[in-house]
A and B are shown apart, each in its own frame.
Chain A
Amino acid sequence: MLFPPEQRCNPPARVVITGAGIVTSLGVGWAENAEGFRSGRVAIRLMTLFDTSRQRVKVAGQVELPSGMPDTLLPTRHVRRLDRAAKLLLCAAHEAWQQSGWKAADDLPVVLGTTSGGMTSGQDYYHQAIRAPYSRRRQPTRVVHYQTQRQALDLADAFGFAGPSTIVANACASGANAIGHAWDLLRRGRALRVLAGGYDALSQLVFAGFDSLQALSPTRCRPFDARRDGLAIGEGAAVLTLETLELARQRGAKILGEIVGYGAATDAHHLTQPHPQGDAAFATMTAACQSAGVTPQQIGYLNAHGTGTPLNDSAEAAAINRWSGEHAASIPVSSTKSSIGHLLGGAGAVETVVCLMALREQWLPPTSTLESPDPCCAFPLVQKPTAARLEYALTNSFGFGGANATLILRRFG
């Protein structure tokens, strides 16, 4: 029964991470990504997935997918039909699943965030519908794989579990909202385990869209730089296996970290521009801290949304300044989008995993493309690989349409 809830969690359950999978342009898996983020490696490259000759910008954080997909319960024929987004998601989910040691069950919800799901399948469908309308070959498969719920159900089929699947499409906050929603389900006792994450693949429609808005950087994505001129688009996925602390301890699982806070709000200022003072960002950071029971000064690292667009970064900086107040100078901030680009629906989930890496391995990932920090930032920007002693990390995600979300993680053990 989804509603009403069983009253079984008072106080709310603690929510821990027992598996984390990640795929970005830095590589496939925790090890390659941790090395890349820690060192600040930049993995923005010339894009080869589609023709960019008529675009202003021709680079992106394109993933080099492995030649073979992970071994799962999905039939080979089905795996062959997966589109790019589904493959990214499956790789990340497989890593998380393996790490967690989870076994299949029929009460395991999936909560995913995405902005465009199987858009490449949708594009292929449109091409053929226009160019060869009477040819129906492969069209049903494209329709099926275009739909976001297919990717969620593919995960269930891949690992043999069942449970409700929920897909949050809150633009670039989708991944963070999905993890936040999963956290809420666990905390309130509505589930004992949830598979959660975010994903998006590069597609021509989305790339052209950001280019049309002149939001893409024609030079280099430099979040919080005084001369920043736009973002870089990327692709990837991250998936977390989340469960209650009690269950994780019962089964002797290795606990990677804890999610302790979540805040979500809406910025009604404009469809594509944040409120100049970052009101909603301030609200989500404040709400996340309240739910976590922490103060800004306890946050040892802040992974900013930091897209590199002039408007986003100045609004976010204003919000961070206001939220952190007199403690601003002691909160290190960086944007890892400088390394991998903006992963849209995958961003919030990937950046959650970056925070998890930072907490587990005790380092701060740099904004390595930063040259001249914008003086509007009252906080220190991490520019070089840095070791640190961290207890809490906060990650921000803001999206088109004003969807804002903040998550707070805590080191475990």
Chain B
Amino acid sequence: MTSTANIFIDGIGAVSPAGWGVLPLREALAKGEPLHLKELARPGWTRSLRVRPVPSPTSRPSFLAHARLRRTSPITQYAVAAALEALGGDAALVSSGSLRLGIIVCVLTGCVNYSRRFYDETLKDPATASPLVFPETVFNAPASHLAALLGTTAINYTLVGDPGMFLQGLSIAGHWLLTDRVDGCLVVGAEELDWLTADAYALFARKIILSEGAGAVYLRRSGQPTPNPSQEGNNLGTSGRPLPSWEGPGVSSVPMVLSGENAANVIARLHSVTESYSVLRLQNHSEAARRMRAELPVGMPEHLLCDGTQGLRTPDAVELEAWHDWPGARLSPKRVLGEGLAAGSAWQCVAALDALRQGPHPAALVSVVGCNQQAIGAHFVLSDRKSSSSTSPE
């Protein structure tokens, strides 16, 4: 028995090839059928790449009215949408200054649309390359826009790495919360599709289907009272609730496209994140995955494993071997959604947490065997939010 710190998951959000929100993600995963593929042209090739993009939203998200978001590329829009869904009503607390929100955005390829576009302009003539595009090429542009939209000035990190980085992000968020650096923390994994990335991945796995989107997990510490937004007072809208910073006079309030799934219903606790086992010359994928697996519970039939397999023989082999004796249920979001890189591991966590909320599972494990950096896992358990300390079976 190990005494564990109480870090709760207060919200989840997603944008995926299934649609905008956790609900379409849940429905697509319940159906279990790989989503339709789209063709993505690449210069100089007659044969297109096959990918799974995010469908267009049914209406323009209201946050795009914010001045900072007008020129942003898809990755920022996905990250913001997922983050707002996960935050739910707490977005207003952040805007009113009564909740210190940390932000951790995890990416692998990051803002590749604008980077490719800007470099293309540079090669044609650097003297005319657009100064509007360049700032959007930096890895931390999505985190910056999200912070500006929410009005948070607390610490924020952008972490770059393979899909396992999202789980490292959860761990860092947990530490920030435990050390009182922040009151709440958003961890977002996001990616956007581009022919450049899809072309690059095709070099390593011809059958891999890249996808895009974002997943967000909102964490809070136990014992934190949630202020009543109506009592915050310093930034109230006509409805009596505080106005998030992207709403207000002069900004039209377009209905959000999100499903409205959020937080308050998610009663899960981050039990643990394993060590990140690096993939090195002296430690290959199999060894890294084996060590990660060994740090997580052996599992029970009622437990859920949310793995990162895609239905492809070679990329899946290591993970399948590591989990060959898993006794419980399995969920493999990438088989339906495709390889979303940092967004993909975020979807795994979102799907696991959503399953905890929806289903009969008392615990869920997430396994990420990244493409070239690390094997890492996470363990979530259902929890009574009111308890201030607990013990969990290892």
Does the CB pair B138–A171 fall under 8 Å? yes
- Residues of chain B within 8 A of A101, CB atoms compared: none
If A2-B273, A117-B160 touch, whether A212 touches B148 (CB-CB below 8 Å) is no
Does the CB pair A3–B273 fall under 8 Å? yes
Q: Which of A362-388 contact B (CB under 8 A)?
A: none
A31 within 8 A of B: no
Does the CB pair A1–B155 fall under 8 Å? no
Tell me the smallest distance from the CB of B316 to a CB of chain A, in Å: 20
Does the CB pair A4–B119 fall under 8 Å? no
Classify chain A's interface size.
35 or more
Contact among B140, B175, B199, B204 with A399 in the assembled complex (CB-CB below 8 Å): B140
Does the CB pair A140–B134 fall under 8 Å? no
Tell me the smallest distance from the CB of B183 to a CB of chain A, in Å: 15
| CA distance in complex: A212, B119 (Å) | 12
Does the CB pair B153–A164 fall under 8 Å? no
Tell me the smallest distance from the CB of B184 to a CB of chain A, in Å: 14
Does the CB pair A265–B153 fall under 8 Å? yes
| CA distance in complex: A318, B75 (Å) | 34
- Residues of chain A within 8 A of B126, CB atoms compared: 54-55, 204, 208, 211-212
B28-36, B78-86, B278-286, B303-311 - interface stretch: B278-286
Q: Which of B162-192 contact A (CB under 8 A)?
A: 162, 165, 167-168, 170-172, 174-175, 178-179
Classify chain B's interface size.
35 or more
- Residues of chain A within 8 A of B68, CB atoms compared: 271
A28 within 8 A of B: no
Q: Which of A108-167 contact B (CB under 8 A)?
A: 114-115, 117, 123, 125-127, 129-130, 133-134, 136, 139-140, 143-144, 147-150, 152-153, 156-157, 160, 162-167
Tell me the smallest distance from the CB of A133 to a CB of chain B, in Å: 3
Interface centre among B127, B131, B138, B376, by most chain A C-beta atoms within 10 angstroms, is B138
B40-48, B251-259, B260-268 - interface stretch: B40-48
Tell me the smallest distance from the CB of B106 to a CB of chain A, in Å: 10
Contact among B274, B372, B373 with A2 in the assembled complex (CB-CB below 8 Å): B274
| CA distance in complex: A156, B5 (Å) | 31
Main secondary structure of the interface of B (DSSP, over half): mixed
| CA distance in complex: A402, B155 (Å) | 10
| CA distance in complex: A112, B147 (Å) | 23
Tell me the smallest distance from the CB of B141 to a CB of chain A, in Å: 6
| CA distance in complex: A268, B45 (Å) | 42
Does the CB pair A184–B175 fall under 8 Å? yes
| CA distance in complex: A279, B123 (Å) | 38
Q: Which of B109-162 contact A (CB under 8 A)?
A: 110, 115-116, 118-120, 122-123, 125-127, 129-131, 134-141, 143-145, 147-148, 151-162
If A164-B275, A209-B129, A265-B153 touch, whether A126 touches B147 (CB-CB below 8 Å) is no
If A165-B373, A403-B140 touch, whether A268 touches B280 (CB-CB below 8 Å) is no
If A2-B273, A2-B274 touch, whether A266 touches B135 (CB-CB below 8 Å) is no
Ordered by A's residue number, 25 sampled pairs between the chains whose C-beta atoms are within 8 Å are: A54-B126, A149-B162, A150-B372, A162-B277, A166-B159, A167-B161, A168-B159, A170-B140, A170-B158, A171-B138, A181-B172, A204-B122, A208-B129, A209-B135, A213-B131, A213-B135, A214-B131, A265-B155, A266-B103, A266-B154, A268-B151, A269-B148, A280-B153, A399-B140, A403-B158
Question: Top 9 closest A-B pairs, CB basis?
Answer: A401-B144, A133-B44, A169-B139, A164-B276, A209-B134, A2-B171, A3-B171, A268-B148, A3-B273
